[in-house]
Amino acid sequence: MFKRILFATDFSPHAEIAKRFAMRLAQADDKQLWAMTVVEIWQEPLSEADEPPIVSPEAWERELEKEKQAVEREEERLLSQNVAEMEAEGIQVHKMVREGDPVEEIVTAAKEIDADLIVLGSHSRRNIWDIEMGNTAARVAKKAPCPVLIVSHRPPHPGLVHERILFATDFSPHAEEAFKVALTLAKETQGHLYLVSVIEPGEEIPMLPGFAVEAPDDEVVELEAELRADVEAKVRRKLEVLVEQAQRAGVETEIVIRHGHIAKEIRKAAVDIEADMIVMGTHSRRSLWDKLLGNTAQNVAQHASCPVLLVSHNS
């Protein structure tokens, strides 16, 4: 399925694990791998210093240029080591070193080489910047022209097996695109596909602002049970449509419906079924809550116990 693979690294422990997955995916005669790194140069202009500069602007620029060249040499050295390791495994690999914003450069490179897949670690070395600007991997996934495989540093990984693929859906356009990828992947690897949807408490029992029940009586409890069953039945019917598509493709499936916090329940389901991979869309239909509480896909990708394949509606 994935023949043109872009592996982006910052040489962190997470990237090292992601590299192993990229290498396994690229081990075939009809596949190519691009290994890239992005050099970031953070400059502090003299005009923004708290104290008057004691060096001239020219001298300061020379120091910045020396620092930039040193960083570039080190990044080039580390990437060359990675490439040599890949070539020793018989992998067709191309080396790319870019300078600038990692998200923009990775997305641009993926477009240039017409990549089928981007592989990168779930966390970078630049933790402060990731906190301030949002996780790099999640930002790449939202802008990428192809699916993005995010691998966490949570060893031991079982290896590149796709026997158990968990597809998480909220039935949004992004989830529809992700299902196509999950179905194709399961068919190619003869894997078992688990169709997972999570029902939030607010979906089961919608309440008007200010409405509260201090002590539920039997009638309220019965009503809650009916509403819960009704919502679950609607979700199950939607999942059964996907089951029919999977059956036509010859893929074995199983429906899993959970209740609670979406990201947490997806991660728990992955543990329960011992998933080898989670496949899901980059955006949910709950855009307001995602903005307030943190993006669901980002949460899952950062904390899941297995690799997470994120698919955008633009892929």
Measured distance CA(166)–CA(194) in Å, rounded: 5
Domain finish residue from 156, 189, 216: 156
- CA contacts within 13 A on the Cβ side of 285: 13
CA distance 82 to 196: 37
3 state SS of 257: strand
pTM over 0.75: yes
**Residue 256 sits in which domain range?**
161-315
pLDDT of residue 288: 44
Which residue, of 156, 189, 208, is where some domain finishes?
156
* pLDDT computed for residue 91 by the predictor: 93
Specify whether 135 is located in the same domain as 185.
no
- Could you list the beta-strand ranges (E) of the chain: 4-8, 32-39, 93-99, 117-121, 148-151, 164-168, 192-199, 253-259, 277-281, 308-311
Is the distance from CB of 112 to CB of 83 less than 8 angstroms? no
Same domain, 131 and 178: no
- Please give the pLDDT value at position 202: 66
Give how many domains the chain has, as a whole number: 2
Q: Which ranges of 134-259 would DSSP assign to H, the alpha helix? A: 136-143, 173-189, 201-204, 218-248
Which of 111, 126, 156 delimits the end of a domain?
156
Q: Which residues touch 202 (CB under 8 Å, ≥6 apart)?
A: none
> By three-state DSSP, how is residue 104 classified?
helix
The pLDDT value recorded for residue 223 is 78
Residues 201 and 218 in one domain: yes
| pLDDT given for residue 125 in this prediction | 59
Does residue 7 share a domain with residue 127? yes
Residues 204 and 312 in one domain: yes
Which pLDDT score, from 0 to 100, does residue 138 have? 81
Tens of pLDDT, residues 164-223: 999 999 998 889 999 999 999 999 888 999 999 999 876 555 554 454 555 567 777 777
47, 129: one domain: yes
CATH number at residue 34: 3.40.50.620
Does residue 52 sit in the same domain as residue 30? yes
Q: Looking at residue 60, what is its pLDDT?
A: 73
> What's the rounded Cα separation, in Å, for the pair 282 and 266?
14
What pLDDT score was predicted for residue 107?
96
Q: At what angle do helices 136-143 and 102-113 cross, to 10 degrees?
A: 40
pLDDT, position 295: 77
Residues 9 and 81 occupy one common structural domain: yes
Q: Which residue ranges of the chain lie beneath pLDDT 50?
A: 46-48, 127-134, 156, 208-209, 211, 288-289, 291-294
CA–CA distance, 262 with 170 (Å, rounded to integer): 10
CB atoms within 10 A of CB 197: 24
**Separation of alpha carbons 212 and 228, rounded Å:** 18
